[in-house]
């Protein structure tokens, strides 16, 4: 479990704020708080103004999970890369030691988190807001590989919509069609989003 630190309610760049969101991991629950999707990061804050911050570079994947056989409640599933450092342009010191917290802090790295809003109709809105804000923070390491992939698709005649299948996930730095058998073992069954693959 990560440590909860003193946090202020954000006022700038807030794209979505959701009340009554429970956060859990495989070990237990952090309780109920407010979830803030901002242009700079994701914050979850309790009524005592304690919580945690997730950098968009730390979020490897997020998806809407409605498979209650894998997890007892419909939720936003997050796969985390806690060792992923922020880019230089996003590495300015944060208030209340947030920079250390967002880069791992003193807690053991978590691999998964579950955001469970009391109002399940907010799941798609949370997903969409996170996908938008993550697109504002492209990973420099992915820029070259994305360009190469686009070039290969053009040569092979595969453009947008190629590859088949409607099951898609958001992998943090843009929408990618799910196609890894190895990753499938780590994802909730029936996890999905309503992004570029579903119309």
Question: Does the pLDDT at position 68 exceed 50?
Answer: yes
- Look up the pTM and report it: 0.67
Question: Does the pLDDT at position 79 exceed 90?
Answer: yes
Question: Does the pLDDT at position 29 exceed 70?
Answer: yes
C-alpha span between 122 and 110 (Å, rounded): 24
Q: Which among 136, 130, 122 has a CA at the least distance from the CA of 62?
A: 130
* CA 91 vs CA 70, 98, 125: distances in Å: 36, 10, 28
Q: Give the residue, 149 or 173, on which the prediction is more confident.
A: 149
Q: Report helix, strand or coil for 163.
A: coil
Q: Which domains are delineated in the chain?
A: 5-192 (2.30.29.30)
* CA 77 vs CA 16, 72, 100, 139, 159: distances in Å: 17, 12, 24, 21, 29
**Residues 81, 28, 98: CA angle, nearest 5 degrees:** 45
Segment 93-142, tens digit of pLDDT? 444 444 444 444 455 668 999 999 999 999 999 999 999 999 999 877 76
| Confidence (pLDDT) at 165 | 33
């Amino acid at each position: 479990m990560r440590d909860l630190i003193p946090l202020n309610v954000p006022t700038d760049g807030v794209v979505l704020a959701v009340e009554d969101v429970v956060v859990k991991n495989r070990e237990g629950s952090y309780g109920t708080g407010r979830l803030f999707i901002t242009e700079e990061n994701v914050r979850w804050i309790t009524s005592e103004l304690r919580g945690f911050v997730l950098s968009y570079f730390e979020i490897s994947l997020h998806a809407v999970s409605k498979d209650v056989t894998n997890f007892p409640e419909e939720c936003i599933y997050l796969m985390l890369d806690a060792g992923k450092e922020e880019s230089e342009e996003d590495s300015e010191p944060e208030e209340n030691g947030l920079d250390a917290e967002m880069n791992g802090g003193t807690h053991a790295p978590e691999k998964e988190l579950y955001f469970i809003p009391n109002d399940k109709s907010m799941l798609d809105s949370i997903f969409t807001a996170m996908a938008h804000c993550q697109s504002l923070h492209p990973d420099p390491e992915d820029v070259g590989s994305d360009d190469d992939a686009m070039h290969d698709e053009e040569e092979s005649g595969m453009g947008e919509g190629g590859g088949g299948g409607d099951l898609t996930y958001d992998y943090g730095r843009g929408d990618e069609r799910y196609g890894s058998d190895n990753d499938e073992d780590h994802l909730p069954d029936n996890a999905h989003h309503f992004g570029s693959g579903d119309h």
